[in-house]
A and B are shown apart, each in its own frame.
Chain A
Amino acid sequence: MNNWIDIIALDEIPRLGSRVIRTDTMDVAVFRTRDDQVFALRDACPHKGGPLSQGIVHGTSVTCPLHNWKIDLASGEALGPDEGCTNVFATKVEGGRVLLALKADVAAA
């Protein structure tokens, strides 16, 4: 069972941008694509821990601002020849609000 937390209105995340959600243990980056899909990743690039939330979002991936690794928003995996993966959290949009499930997927990941 996912434990959904209401975090923010969809409109408060810029299109092709992100917001940072600070929890007790880590930062989570919540991304919004051009067609209003929402994804959440642990805000740390698998390469050197760069803040993915600060990267440029394109399609369904984000480019890390530190060394240009490209991370897939849906799987958290590095694209192209790079290898590595960051944690993914479930999200859904209901009535214009973005909901995030932290615990279930932390355990899974």
Chain B
Amino acid sequence: MATLHLVSHSPFTDSRLASCLRLLDSDDALLLMGDAVYALCNGTSFREELESLAASISVFALTEDLQARDLTQTLPIRVKSIGYPEFVKLSCHYLRINSWL
């Protein structure tokens, strides 16, 4: 009964990611896109928090947003970079999609 959460705001100026992380269930997934991928910057508390999430929670980031921000080389091992075809597959796999608008 798992949920795919979509977050697109920078965690440094906005509380959406923080709120989302508190409500994640152990089998949920998180897809970071837009400025939310800044959460993956080296040496930040958000990156640490994402790295320490339960292993059962899948974390994804949209490839085009990582590329645009030059973040592809420093991706944590547990974060998978995906394109739109995989985004579609995830939307089918998870039972509901919670967009943090």
A is bound by B: no
Q: Chain B interface (Cβ within 8 Å of chain A)?
A: none
Q: Chain A interface (Cβ within 8 Å of chain B)?
A: none
